[in-house]
Structure formats: C-alpha cells, structure tokens
Chains A and B, each alone.
Chain A
C-alpha cells in the first residue's frame, strides 16, 4: 500500500521543486526565459557516468549508467559560516540487465543539513582583520594583479615586474622577505626561520581547522532497480572530512614524496555515521523472510579515501580510491539474521589510470540487496 503513495510523494516532490523554480522566474518580465532557466537550472544538478559492469560469479556483463542529482532548495544562516540548508537529491545506477549488478541501490530524498558545525574562528581581532584585508586588496590591485597581467601579456616587461615586486616588498617587509616566481605566477614570503609560504597566507583573518563537519536530517526512499524492494528511511547523520593530510603520510613514504598529480591531493578521509529509522514494509525480499520488525532502527557508517599509488609525472600517475559502507539493524528478527541481512557491508576499490579510464572492484551488499556479490567494472568517467 505504501509503495504507490511513496512513489507519488517523490514525483510530487520533484514536480514541486520544478514548479518552485518556475514560479521564482514567472514574476520576471522574461517569463518564458525564466521558465526555461527554471527547467534548465533544475536539470543541471544531474551528472551521468556510463559503465560496463561484470559480475565475478559468472553472472555475465552488462552496461549501465550511474547518475547523481542534487539541488539546494532553501538556505538560512545560523552562526558564522554555519548554515541550515534544505536540498533535494537522487542517485543510482540504471543497468540494462540489473540482475547482473548484485549491489545497486537508488536513493531519492529530501535533506535538512547543518553545514559546518565547527567553523573557522578568527585568527586576529576585527581591527587587524580589516587592516589585513585592505592591505591585501591594495597589494593585489596595485602590484600582484598587474604583475600577473604582465606574464599573461606574453611579452612581459621585466623592469616593470621587478618594480611591482619591489614596491610590494616594502609594504610587506614586516611579514618577511618577498620572492616572486613567474613560473608558478606566485609570490612567496620567507619568515625569519626561512619557512616559505604563499604571500597572502600571512595575512589570513581566520584560523585553519582540522575537520570539516556537517549534520544531516534526511527522508529518503531507497530501492533497487526492480522497484520490488523499497524502503522509506529517515536518518540523522554526522559527516565530515579530515582537512590535514595525516593519512597520506604512509603513502607518501611509499611514493617517496607528495602526490605528483594535484587531483590526488584531496585531503580526507571523508567519513559519515548515522542512525536511521527504516520502514521496510514494501521491501519484498525482506517480507518474504519475515513480517516482523517492519520498522526498525539501523546504524550506518562509511568512509572514503583517495590517494596516489605511484607516479612518474603528473600526467602519468595511478590513483587509488577506497570506499566502505556498513549497515547494522538493531535487534533484527532471527530470519533476517539467518539470511545475514542484519549487518551488510559494501567495499569498493577503484584504480584510476591516466586519462579517464578506471577499473573498479566491489564486494558486499547494500541494504536493499538480497544477495551480496563481487563485481569488476571497467569504464570511463564522463560528466555532462
């Protein structure tokens, strides 16, 4: 009974979001353009990646399209950089033959987030911050931007460039010795200990922090591609990201230095942990096992990390991406335990080669999967 209601709910939700955007623009005199912008704007949060997927149990190979969609609906400031946000999202993997993809799950839902629970704090008082901001603005306007424009011109006037650096050096003398590097289009400051930093790093008004943290309250519909296993899930989740590259230190020892490819320097790991209330009365795979415990609490944990395995140069580097998810149903009925559906975990390791090619290994199962399994996928990453 719940299934048609849920589907209708999400169709209405998607439609209401679209109408909301259309209405925003309808008031303008260019309503047709506004309407088109509304539709385009709404569709623009969509990203699609084609994949070739092969089950390792001999189940065969299929092609699929992985998609993700996210659109912010409302935003309110709470304190400092901390915001309250309402958003709409959807993600999944549409396979030509879904039976050959043992671990697929679609998620569609609404989310209320508290973004940045541990915001940066001021490094200096407001007077100093104001002074620094004005100084930076002046240095950038008078010296740094004209200096970079000389480089961009293709026929730089070296005397003029030296003049810009000399003038900026005088104004920044109290922060250290200034050095210009045209190759990286950057200026650096050397402090008394000889430590080199980007010149504008010396005048920051906010302190750096170790973690980025956010809290989400979400209402989601989870299902597989057959739409026979549906679950309605309400979740409270804490998520975050380590902003200091501590975890990369062992990899750095193996590589003999920091990653050569900048896209492998994304810090992390990312992590998330939440408690959900799940209504599984429309999950046919589950109700076939038991009619008990149709609504139950579930723990979910997850982590993701990316680093560089090895590299010859920036263009010739191989990256490794690891993802792990774990779900645990509290006080699960015995048939669910016997079927090993009370605790499910899913692991994904992706090796990314130069270009956009990748090989991906997955193992385990997700909450709506009846059976677990391993797959190997090879493909390419393409974003619309």
Chain B
C-alpha cells in the first residue's frame, strides 16, 4: 500500500501524525468542510453576534487569510484570555461541524486539540487550519 506523503502535513507534527491513519477526503468533501469552517468563523451563530473573522470575508479571501486574522490574535490575546478564546473556538467549530454531519475521524479530544494548536499558530496561513480540520474530521 502506498504511503501518504507527509509534506502536506503542514507545520504541526501532531497533526501530521494524525494524517497517517486518516482516509483521503474527496475534493467535494474537502470543499464542503472548508466552507463550513468559513461559515462558522464568519457567523458562529452564538448569542453575541460575534465573529472570529471579518463577517463579510469571502470564501476565497478566507482561504488566503492568515491565522493572525482570527479575532483573538488580532486582539493580541495572551494568557488565560487567549486560552479561553482558543478553547471556546475549537469547541464551537467542533459543534458546528457536527451540526453539518462532519464528525471527528478519531478521538474527538485530539481533533479539538489539533484545531486549538492550529488556531494558536500566529502567522500561519488560514489554509493550515483548514488542512488540520480536513485531516481530523470527515
């Protein structure tokens, strides 16, 4: 059986470890999942009308954006504030994906941890976060 290439693993080695066992998602499914992430970041649908990114950002612009464009990095959050925001973000996204029939491939805690790790990588491309989600959810 042909082994998967690890060069697409991104910069997070833990995410890379997760890929090895993950089945390859179809291009349509990847697009579906990525659009749900975009949708969630624009309109998390919580009680505050808050957004994690510019609520008017288009999908192509979102894919080309940076992790630094997430609200908690734009606001330079540190310490417990950043922890609260990143952890709440990962849970909100996890639930939003579940709402759309997108489930974690393996351990849900590890899927959330991978999202949290990706969301902490200030300066990384947003695509890195999308890739982590695609690798950990189906």
Contacts and interface: CB of A to CB of B under 8 A. Distances in A.
Interface of A: 21, 24-25, 28-30, 33-34, 37-38, 40-41, 44-45, 47, 49, 68, 70-72, 75-78, 81, 83-85, 91, 113, 115-116, 119-120, 132-134, 136-137, 140-141, 145, 148, 151-152, 184-186, 197-198, 200-201, 203-206, 208, 212, 214, 216, 237, 239-241, 243-245, 258, 262-263, 265-267, 270, 272, 302, 304, 306, 321, 381, 383-384
Interface string B80-93: 11111101100100
Contacts of A91: 78-79
Given A205-B99, A241-B88, A266 B75 contact: yes
Given A115-B87, A116-B87, A270-B84, A383 B101 contact: no
Contacts of B82: 68, 70
B98 A24 contact: no
B127 to A, nearest CB: 15
30 contacts: A24-B14, A41-B13, A44-B121, A68-B78, A68-B79, A76-B109, A81-B112, A83-B112, A83-B113, A132-B99, A133-B98, A140-B35, A140-B36, A145-B32, A185-B56, A185-B58, A200-B99, A205-B95, A212-B84, A239-B80, A239-B83, A241-B85, A262-B54, A263-B74, A263-B75, A265-B49, A267-B48, A270-B80, A304-B80, A384-B122
Contact of B45 (A29, A34, A200, A381): A200
Contacts of B3: 29
Interface string B38-51: 01000101111111
Contacts of A148: 35, 59
Nearest to A244: B47
A152 B32 contact: no
B78 A140 contact: no
B80 A302 contact: yes
Given A120-B95, A148-B59, A214-B83, A208 B112 contact: no
Interface of B: 3, 6-7, 9, 11-14, 16-17, 31-32, 35-36, 39, 43, 45-51, 54-56, 58-60, 68, 71-76, 78-85, 87-88, 91, 94-95, 98-101, 107-110, 112-113, 116-117, 120-124
A203 B96 CA distance: 10
B14 A201 contact: no
B101 A37 contact: no
A24 B46 CA distance: 37
B16 A263 contact: no
A262 B99 contact: no
Contacts of B120: 45, 70
A116 B116 CA distance: 13
Contacts of B47: 208, 243-245
Contacts of A237: 80
A133 B109 contact: no
A241 B100 CA distance: 26
A104 B121 CA distance: 25
B91 A41 contact: no
Q: Among A49, A237, A239, which residue has the most Cβ atoms of chain B within 10 A? A: A239
B72 A266 contact: yes
Question: Most chain-B CB neighbours within 10 Å: which of A40, A41, A76, A203?
Answer: A41
A24 B109 contact: no
B5 to A, nearest CB: 8
B4 to A, nearest CB: 10
B69 to A, nearest CB: 10
B43 A262 contact: no
Contacts of A45: 120-121
Given A265-B51, A270-B84, A44 B124 contact: yes
A262 B13 CA distance: 33
Contacts of A78: 109
Nearest to B102: A137
Given A33-B6, A204-B45, 18 more contacts: A21-B14, A25-B17, A37-B6, A44-B121, A78-B109, A81-B94, A85-B113, A91-B79, A133-B99, A133-B100, A136-B101, A137-B100, A203-B99, A204-B99, A241-B84, A266-B50, A383-B123, A384-B123
A200 B68 CA distance: 27
Contacts of A140: 32, 35-36, 100
A205 B121 contact: no
A317 to B, nearest CB: 13
B112 to A, nearest CB: 6
Q: In the complex, which of the residues A40, A141, A184, A258 has the most CB atoms of chain B within 10 Å of its own CB atom?
A: A141
A134 B81 CA distance: 35
A41 B11 contact: yes
Contact of B87 (A184, A204, A214): A214
Contacts of B72: 266
A30 B6 contact: yes
